[in-house]
Amino acid sequence: MKKLLLLLGPTALVLGGAGFFAGRYYYPGGLRASAHAAAATEAQAPVYLPLDNFTLRLADTGDEHYLKFAPVLAVRPGSQDELTRHLPMVRDAILLVASSSTSTELMTPAGARKLKHDIIEALKRPFPGAVSSLYFKDYLVE
């Protein structure tokens, strides 16, 4: 009797484990579904659209201050062609937003974050849902 229990115990454990992992793999919400969800998320990863450098005069009233930066737009896949076709409109929106800021606003990290937010908001009007984020490759306030 003891020998039978010693033989059936590990066998039941192995079969139960195999059944558990098979169920996790094949049934909805299992590992296989997770792999498909990860592939779908990866397919929707943003496309990066680097823009040429901007050098512009800021809205300071006393001294002249300048901002030099190189934005990179994170755009929805498929929107890159539309933004590239309308690049003068994109650059104009960025230029208008950035040049309306002052050097004291833009010298802080909070000011740089606000500039990113304002640029994205300005691009949402003509290109709804196209731009998801903005990054600075270079950023200098003089």
Does the structure show a pLDDT above 60 at 72? yes
**pLDDT value of residue 70:** 96
pLDDT value of residue 78 = 87
pLDDT of 124 over the 60 cut = yes
Token pair of 135 as six digits = 């990054």
Cα-flanking dihedrals φ and ψ of residue 127, to 5°? Answer: -130, 70
| Domain extent listing, the chain | 2-43, 47-141
Burial (Cβ within 10 Å: 0-12, 13-18, ≥19) of residue 56: middle
Which residues have a Cβ under 8 Å from the Cβ of 89 and sit 6 or more positions away? 126
pLDDT value at residue 82:
92
Q: Is CATH 3.40.50.150 correct for 47-141? A: no
Q: What is the mean pLDDT of residues 55-68?
A: 92
Average pLDDT of the chain, as a whole number: 84
Tokens in use for 76? 């929805």
